[in-house]
Amino acid sequence: MFFKLFTTFFKIGAFTFGGGYAMLPIIQKELVDIRKLISEEEFMDAIALAQASPGSVALNTSVYVGYKIKGLKGAIASTLGSVLPSFIIILLIAMYFFRFRHNEFVDSIFMGIRPAIVALILSAAYQMWKNSRKTYIKLFSSIATVGLVVFTGLNPIWIVIAGAVSSVIYHKYYWPFQEERER
């Protein structure tokens, strides 16, 4: 089972392009549909927890699913499986790529790709906003975050912590007060 989990996640890691979110449907197909190692609901729980936790969503999902199937050993197998393909492929590219990096042709390719990266990032932000329940407070926090990161250079860690703390204070002290007043 250890080896099987490893090879399954290795395959997933090696063949999914486009980052974490692109890996999720493939993990689902392999583990839920084909191998039936976990149920659909368990998989949805895994994704929700993975998104709520720090780090890469695909990696978090792999760790959780590994635990679910075979405990700590399973988690180690699935983590190694999903990390190793990235590691090997990137290492090869990094070693090879730097030999021909300073070349006019490669430069012009990257001149085209750089704006595309900006577009991809904006597209991800736009889709997240579109799929969320929109409120003024959320809009304010998002815009304040952009402003703080871009203009003050404040470390994002502090903004994440401030967001969490202010939300707890808001829900614990302001909300009950609001409900009281409306009554």
Partner 1 sequence: MVLLQLFISFIKIGAFSFGGGYAMLPLIEEEVVEVHRWITTAEYVDILAIAEMTPGPIAINSATFLGYKVAGVLGSAVATVGVVLPSFMVMSLIFVFVLRFKKSPYVNWIFKGIRPVVLGLIAAAAVSVGGNTFVDLKSVLIAILLFVLVTFRDLNPIFGIVLAGALGVIFF
4 or 86, CB closer to partner 1? 86
In this structure, what token pair is assigned to residue 147? 């402003």
DSSP label of 148: I
Determine if 28 is a binding residue for partner 1 (CB under 8 A): no
Of 3, 41, 115, 152, the one binding partner 1 by CB under 8 A: 115
Window 87-106: residues binding partner 1 (CB under 8 A) = 87, 89-91, 93-95, 97, 101, 105
Of 110, 173, 174, 177, the one binding partner 1 by CB under 8 A: 110
Of 3, 17, 36, 179, the one binding partner 1 by CB under 8 A: 17
Of 25, 33, 40, 129, the one binding partner 1 by CB under 8 A: 129
Determine if 176 is a binding residue for partner 1 (CB under 8 A): no
Window 53-72: residues binding partner 1 (CB under 8 A) = 53-60, 63-64, 67-68, 72
CA separation, residue 112 to residues 103, 106, 115, 118 (Å) = 15, 10, 6, 11
Residue length of the chain: 183
Among candidate residues 109, 35, 103, the one with its CA nearest the CA of residue 65 = 35
Euclidean distance between CA atoms 57 and 34, whole angstroms: 22
Burial of residue 4 (CB within 10 Å: 0-12, 13-18, 19+) is: middle
Determine if 139 is a binding residue for partner 1 (CB under 8 A): yes
